[in-house]
Structure 1
């Protein structure tokens, strides 16, 4: 009984990494998961850059407004 359990465990230990390796190296999986994810990351980076630029412009406008108030007062 013990030998059968050990053989089952060994097959399980060996089959899991091999199966995961096989699944992750499928072209459809790569295209579906990695490429789409990369496109999403690029879009998010563009949105982040746009947000940073808007914040930079707001900060500059506030600074100029404050400078104008101080120069008048």
Structure 2
């Protein structure tokens, strides 16, 4: 009985991780759970937000340049 039990345990120990790896890497599973969840957390950017961010960056750049000019004049 000892050898049969050891063979069964070895098959179980090897098949479980391989089965979990195979199941988790199915394309349907990946599309359904991972991609949808990623889109919920990080929605696609829209033009308004992108333009608003660019305008903010430009305002900050101008403010930093003005501060540098004031510091060099003093």
What is the TM-score when the length of structure 1 is the normalising length? 0.54
Q: Which residue of 2 aligns with 1:34?
A: 38
The residue number in structure 2 matching 1:19 is: 23
Deviation at 1:57, TM superposition (A): 1.8
Find the aligned partners of 2:40 and 2:59 in 1 and give their Cα distance.
Answer: 27
RMSD value, Cα:
3.5
1:14-71 residue CA offsets vs partner (Å, 9 max, x unmatched): 21111111332xx43255223334426x47x94765553332121122134x27x83x
Can you give the 5+ residue segments of structure 2 that lack an aligned partner in the other structure? Answer: none
Structure 1 residues without counterparts, runs of 5 or longer: none
Q: Which residue of 2 aligns with 1:55?
A: 60
Q: 1:7 aligns with which of 6, 11, 32?
A: 11
TM-score w.r.t. length of structure 2: 0.54
Which has the larger helix fraction? 1
Q: How many residues of Structure 1 are paired with residues of Structure 2 in the alignment?
A: 65
